[in-house]
Every structure is written in structure tokens, then in C-alpha cells.
């Protein structure tokens, strides 16, 4: 028969995408405005105008065969240089354009990086709660996922981390600002994490790669800053996507960046080229490559997300929900009123609230609310949230 693992992955779908599909169907049944779909991280704030203007400019002023033609498999050199220059100036680092690989978004960045590094049965450490597809992507590269626990602030449980690093550990994935909690790792947290990694590299006498999954790097609120990880740890690979910062999730554009200080950085980059090649990722969508130099460092209007966060946090707290205040990304992690988050997510559907249960994120008992939706949806959903807690507590 056909491949059973592919069948399983296709038949079950991801919990997020299942709920997203349910929401689309439900909206057709009872109307767009009557479904409070908080399932998916599909940005609700339009791309900044420069995206549209640059794309139209490129279409009107670039020879079509160049604009839509193949670039090098790893991307256009000019674009890679622009990215390196931007990062070097902004973060005071020495990124090399020759170690940047343009990809079809964050998912591709991760599958490529993992396939580049992993040998069969090697281990990838992630910190719960984590983006569920990390498991799928790790297994695609024939690796094994190892899950580390969290403390009361949803930060890594470092004791557990130390225990779980083994001779088979090849990579550690971090994701800050975090999906699904909105937590941002401070410089102290990064330093603590890195000190353990270095100790374990010495102990086991081999490299452990830190893969920093950063689609939300620019999405932070207030004075929160996101440390640039290559400054703290040499064997770092950054997986970036423009999906969230520029509200372009459907267009699939991002990059992988190997820290020039990484041991054997050129060889690691070759592995990335080879892994991309083997899965058929050659040349990220070209017009979106050429868009990047005009948009580096820009974001959609983050105030909208911040306002959504503030309303939701304030109101849900006042109704009696137990909520973590997010410092970044556009997710709110709220404690389920039932120990069984899946059951509670089902129950919430009665109020047309689509909330992703936390089980597939590697921790039970919570729900993820993607608040990258219209303010109107936030405001209109509040009575439903109120009713939900009141009814459920009866």
C-alpha cells in the first residue's frame, strides 16, 4: 500500500488546520460574523503599503523573464546581501550573505535545516509548549523528538533540559516570541540555555545545533526585546519567515541563516543546500525574493495586535479566566476550565468559539487563542467567552 505515515499525517491533519477548516465550513453555514475563529495564525493586519507598491513596481519595471525566472537554488545573491547587511547593522553581527538560504517560509526553513543535520534516530529537543509540526518535521528527517518541560512562567525547565540532553542530541529548537504562549526569552534565559548547551557539547564532544525558529521576531509589545541568538551561541541556525511580520503567510517567503561562527559553517550550509534540493525546494518564489530588500525591518501595524491583546487579556481575566499575558507573537494561552482541553475546545464550539486545545503543543489543559483577527471579532466574541465560563461553572 501507499506510505502509511503519509496517510496518517494526511488523514488526521494538524489540530490547528482541522479547526481552521471547520471554521471555514461553519462560516458558510451561519455567516462569517457569527463564528469566532481564533484557530490559525493568519495575520489580520494588512501588509504595509510598501509591499503592494513594490510588487506593482517590480511587475511594471522588471523584465518578466528576470522577475519570474529561476534564481540560484539558494536565492538571489543581491537579496541575500541585502538581508545580511540589514542584520549586521541592526544587531551588530557579522552575518555572511553566502550562508543565507532563501526558503518558502518557516515550515520549509525548519524541514530543510532538520534534514540537513539529522542522521537516523538522532534527537531534537523542544520546549513544551511547542508548535506541533516540530514533531512532524523531525520525523520527516528520521529524527526523534524529545520534549522538555516548562516552569510556571512557561519558560524552559532547565533541570529537565540538562537531563534530557544525551549523546544523541543533534539539535535544540527554540521559538521566541513563542507560539502558543506569547512568551519571549530574555537575554538571561538565552544565556542560561546556552551555558548548558556548551557544557554538554564539551561533555559529549560533538556539536549541538541551536535552531532558532523566529517568525515572530519583530512582533513584540512595549519595551520587550528579542536577543539575536547568534551573538550568544556559535552553532546557531536561524529560521526566519516574513509571513507574520509583513502579513504574507500565503506567499511562502523566509530564510535560513547559518551563523558564520558555527563550526564547519560552510559544510553545514552545503547540507542545507542538499536537503533543500532533495525535497524539491529550489528557488523561493522569485518576485517575493525581490520584494525583500524594500521591506527589511518593516512590519504591519502591530498596534492592532497589541490592542487585541490588551482587550482580551483584560476582559478574560475579569471573567475569571487564567491567562498568561503575552509579550510577543499574537497568541494568548488560556487555562482550560476542564482538565481535558480537547473536551473543553469542543464545548467552546457551542458558543462558536474556535480555540485550539494545547495537547498537540505538548502540554495539556490550555487553549491557544490566535488574536490576529479583527478588533470587531475580539469585541463581538467577548459575550461568548463570558457565557462560556458562566455556563461551564454551573
Query: Restricting to residues 84-143, which ones interact with a copy of itself according to CB under 8 A?
Result: 104-105, 107-112, 115-119, 133, 136-137, 139-141
Helix (H, G, I), strand (E, B) or coil at 258: strand
Residues 1, 12: Cα–Cα separation, whole Å:
18
Single out the segment in contact with a copy of itself by CB under 8 A; choices: 146-154, 190-198, 215-223, 284-292: 284-292
Helix (H) or strand (E) holding 381: helix 375-393
Could you tell me the smallest distance in angstroms from the CB atom of residue 112 to a copy of itself?
Answer: 8
Q: Is 361 exposed, middle or buried (0-12, 13-18, 19+ CB in 10 A)?
A: buried
When the beta carbons of 58 and 311 are compared against a copy of itself, the nearer one is: 58
CB under 8 A: which stretch of 172-180, 223-231, 269-277, 328-336 binds a copy of itself?
Answer: 269-277
Taking the least distance from each CB to a copy of itself, the nearer of 183 and 238 is 238
**Residue 350: how many CB atoms within 10 A of its CB?**
11
The answer to whether the CB of 268 falls within 8 A of the CB of 262 is: yes
In angstroms, what is the minimal distance from the CB of 278 to a copy of itself?
4
Phi-psi category of residue 189: left, alpha or beta, with phi > 0 → left and psi -120 to 50 → alpha = alpha
Residue 123, beta-bridge partner list:
144, 169
The rounded distance, in Å, linking the Cα atoms of 138 and 356 is 22
Stretch that binds a copy of itself, among 47-55, 156-164, 191-199, 386-394 (CB under 8 A): 47-55
Q: What's the closest the beta carbon of residue 332 comes to a copy of itself, in angstroms?
A: 20
353 near a copy of itself, rule: CB under 8 A: no
Residue pair 84/96 in contact by the 8 Å Cβ criterion: yes
Toward a copy of itself, which CB reaches closer, 42 or 186?
A: 42
> How far apart are CB 103 and a copy of itself at their closest, in Å?
9
Return the half-sphere exposure (C-beta side, CA atoms, 13 A cut-off) of residue 53.
5
Q: Which stretch binds a copy of itself (CB under 8 A): 8-16, 157-165, 195-203, 218-226?
A: 8-16
Residue numbers 174-233 binding a copy of itself by CB under 8 A:
206
- Selected from 19, 275, 323, 334, the binder of a copy of itself by CB under 8 A is 275
Q: Kindly tell me which residue out of 175, 176, 181, 247 binds a copy of itself, with binding defined by CB under 8 A.
A: 247
- The candidate with the shortest Cα–Cα distance to 105, out of 63, 137, 130, is 137
DSSP 114-130: HHHH--TT-EEEEESS-
User: Which residues inside 55-84 make contact with a copy of itself, applying CB under 8 A?
Assistant: 55-56, 59-60, 63-65, 67-73
Among 23, 43, 129, 182, binds a copy of itself (CB under 8 A): 43
User: Which of 129, 177, 182, 249: binder of a copy of itself (CB under 8 A)?
Assistant: 249
For the bound state, the minimum distance from the C-beta of residue 132 to a copy of itself, rounded and expressed in Å, comes to 11
CA distance 180 to 93: 29
Q: For residue 338, state whether it binds a copy of itself (rule: CB under 8 A).
A: no
Kindly state the smallest distance separating residue 389's Cβ from a copy of itself, in Å. 30
CB under 8 Å to 112, separation ≥6 — which residues? 101, 103, 256, 272, 275, 276, 279, 281
Amino acid at each position: 500500500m501507499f506510505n502509511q505515515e503519509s496517510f496518517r499525517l494526511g488523514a488526521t491533519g494538524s489540530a490547528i488546520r482541522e479547526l481552521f477548516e471547520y471554521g471555514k465550513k461553519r462560516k458558510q453555514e451561519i455567516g462569517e460574523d457569527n463564528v469566532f475563529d481564533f484557530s490559525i495564525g493568519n495575520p489580520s493586519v494588512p501588509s504595509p503599503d510598501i509591499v503592494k507598491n513594490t510588487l506593482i513596481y517590480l511587475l511594471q519595471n522588471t523584465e518578466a523573464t528576470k522577475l519570474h525566472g529561476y534564481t540560484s537554488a539558494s536565492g538571489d545573491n543581491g537579496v541575500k546581501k541585502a538581508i545580511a547587511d540589514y542584520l549586521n547593522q541592526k544587531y551588530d553581527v557579522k552575518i555572511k550573505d553566502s550562508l543565507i538560504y532563501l526558503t518558502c517560509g518557516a515550515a520549509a526553513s525548519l524541514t530543510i535545516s532538520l534534514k540537513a543535520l539529522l542522521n537516523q534516530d538522532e534527537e531534537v529537543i523542544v520546549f513544551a509548549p511547542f508548535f506541533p509540526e516540530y514533531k512532524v518535521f523531525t520525523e520527516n528527517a528520521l529524527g526523534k523528538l524529545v520534549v522538555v518541560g516548562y516552569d510556571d512562567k512557561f519558560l524552559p525547565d532547565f533541570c529537565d533540559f540538562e537531563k534530557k540532553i544525551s549523546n544523541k542530541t543533534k539539535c535544540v529548537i527554540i521559538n521566541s516570541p513563542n507560539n502558543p504562549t506569547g512568551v519571549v526569552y530574555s537575554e538571561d534565559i538565552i544565556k542560561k540555555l546556552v551555558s548548558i548547551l556548551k557544557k554538554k557539547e564539551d561533555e559529549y564532544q560533538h556539536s549541538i545545533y541551536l535552531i532558532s525558529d523566529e517568525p515572530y521576531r519583530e512582533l513584540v509589545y512595549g519595551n520587550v526585546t528579542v536577543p539575536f541568538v547568534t551573538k550568544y551561541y556559535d552553532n546557531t541556525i536561524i529560521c526566519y519567515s516574513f509571513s507574520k511580520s509583513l502579513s504574507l503567510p500565503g506567499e511562502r517567503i523566509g530564510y535560513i541563516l547559518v551563523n558564520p561562527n558555527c563550526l564547519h559553517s560552510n559544510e553545514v550550509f552545503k547540507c542545507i543546500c542538499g536537503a533543500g534540493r532533495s525535497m524539491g525546494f529550489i528557488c523561493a518564489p522569485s518576485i517575493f525574493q525581490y520584494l525583500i530588500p524594500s521591506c527589511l525591518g518593516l512590519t504591519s501595524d502591530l498596534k492592532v495586535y497589541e490592542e487585541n491583546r490588551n482587550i482580551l487579556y483584560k476582559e478574560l481575566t475579569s471573567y475569571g479566566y487564567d491567562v498568561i499575558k503575552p509579550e510577543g507573537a499574537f497568541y494568548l494561552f488560556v487555562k482550560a476550565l476542564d482538565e481535558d482541553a480537547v473536551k473543553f475546545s469542543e464545548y467552546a464550539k457551542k458558543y462558536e468559539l474556535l480555540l485550539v486545545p494545547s495537547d498537540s503543543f505538548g502540554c495539556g489543559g490550555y487553549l491557544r487563542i490566535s488574536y490576529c483577527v479583527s478588533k470587531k471579532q475580539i469585541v463581538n466574541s467577548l459575550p461568548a467567552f463570558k457565557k462560556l465560563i458562566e455556563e461551564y461553572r454551573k
